């Protein structure tokens, strides 16, 4: 405990020393006379005059060149001796001498500029135009028969037989039964078949492929009255193989007009 007391005492002594030393310094400084402030003169600036550039004087505007005027000198009039001097009247002073010729400006007539002559109007020439005749469309004559070809004739190849087949339709596209379809050729008559309400007609004309020109038409049930136009068809000898493009069986369809 004694060592701790001595340490505290030493610290307190040190603090007292520092405090008293600062007080002594402050006391000494306060007794010294205060320094007199020195006034520092401000720099003086001398204004310098800078001459501004003087713009150049523009040249005087051009003056019109004076026109020379002819001046006629006055004629001296002799004065009689011993008499008063008379002043000639203004008209006499302006009179030119007999020997002097005053040039007189003669006005020139304006030069006429030639103008082109106006174009001569040419009357239009009337051209006779002949009227073009408008073609009148020709309509095929109506068939006098009740039935006519319904669509373009198609054909299929067949090397085994040659013939004609098809359907006869009424105005409602139904099969017409009980009619007779005939096929013939020049110098030969003829093959035929009766139509039905459920199947196409088929008329075999020859065994094997045969090339010929045939005629096809629709007749009444007993075959006495022609009811359709005559349709021309052709068959080939060859080719006749499937998908060959040959024609051995033409397909001829008829449609009723009423």
Q: What is the pLDDT of residue 80?
A: 45
Q: Which of 192, 215, 216, 202 is closest to 158 using CA atoms?
A: 202
pLDDT-based confidence at residue 134 (cuts at 50, 70, 90): low
pLDDT digits (tens, 9 = 90+) for 80-132: 444 444 444 444 444 444 455 455 555 565 555 556 565 565 555 555 555 55
123: in domain = no
Is the pLDDT confidence value at 53 over 60?
Answer: no
**H or E segment and range at residue 155:** strand 154-156
Q: What is the pLDDT of residue 59?
A: 58
Number of domains in the chain: 1
Of 65-79, 154-168, 225-239, the range with the lowest mean pLDDT is 65-79
208: in domain = yes
For residue 175, give both structure tokens.
């099969």
By percentage, how much of the chain surpasses pLDDT 90? 45
Query: What residues contact residue 225 under an 8 Å CB cut-off, 6+ apart?
Result: 219
247: in domain = yes
Which domain CATH number covers 248?
Answer: 2.60.40.10
Q: Which of 241, 186, 183, 184 is closest to 209 using CA atoms?
A: 241
36: in domain = no
Query: Could you tell me if 213 and 144 are in contact, meaning their C-beta atoms sit under 8 angstroms apart?
Result: no
Burial readout 125-142 (b: 16 or more C-beta within 10 A, e: otherwise): eeeeeeeeeeeeeeeeee
* Domain range for 204: 147-256
Mean pLDDT calculated for residue range 25-41: 66
pTM for this predicted structure = 0.47
Q: What is the pLDDT of residue 7?
A: 82
Beta strands 212-219 and 180-185: pairing type? antiparallel
7: in domain = no
């Amino acid at each position: 405990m004694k060592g701790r007391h001595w340490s505290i005492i030493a610290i307190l002594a040190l603090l007292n020393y520092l405090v008293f030393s600062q007080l002594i310094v402050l006391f000494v400084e306060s007794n010294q006379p205060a320094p007199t402030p020195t006034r520092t003169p401000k720099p003086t600036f001398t204004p310098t005059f800078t001459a501004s550039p003087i713009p150049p004087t523009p040249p005087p505007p051009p003056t019109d060149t004076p026109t020379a005027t002819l001046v006629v000198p006055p004629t001296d009039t002799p004065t009689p001796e011993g008499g008063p001097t008379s002043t000639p009247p203004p008209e006499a002073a302006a009179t030119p001498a007999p020997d002097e010729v005053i040039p007189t400006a003669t006005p020139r007539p304006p030069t006429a500029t030639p103008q082109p002559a106006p174009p001569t109007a040419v009357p239009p020439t009337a051209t006779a135009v002949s009227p073009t005749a408008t073609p009148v469309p020709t309509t095929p004559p109506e068939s006098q028969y009740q039935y006519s070809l319904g669509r373009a004739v198609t054909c299929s190849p067949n090397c085994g037989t040659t013939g004609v087949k098809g359907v006869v339709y009424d105005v409602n596209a139904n099969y017409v039964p009980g009619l007779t379809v005939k096929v013939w050729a020049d110098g030969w008559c003829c093959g035929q078949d009766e139509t039905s309400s459920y199947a196409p007609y088929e008329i075999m004309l020859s065994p094997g492929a045969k090339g010929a020109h045939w005629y096809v038409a629709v007749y009444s049930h007993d075959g006495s009255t022609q009811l359709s136009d005559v349709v021309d068809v052709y068959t080939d000898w060859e080719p006749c193989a499937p998908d060959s493009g040959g024609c051995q069986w033409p397909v001829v369809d008829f449609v009723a007009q009423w």
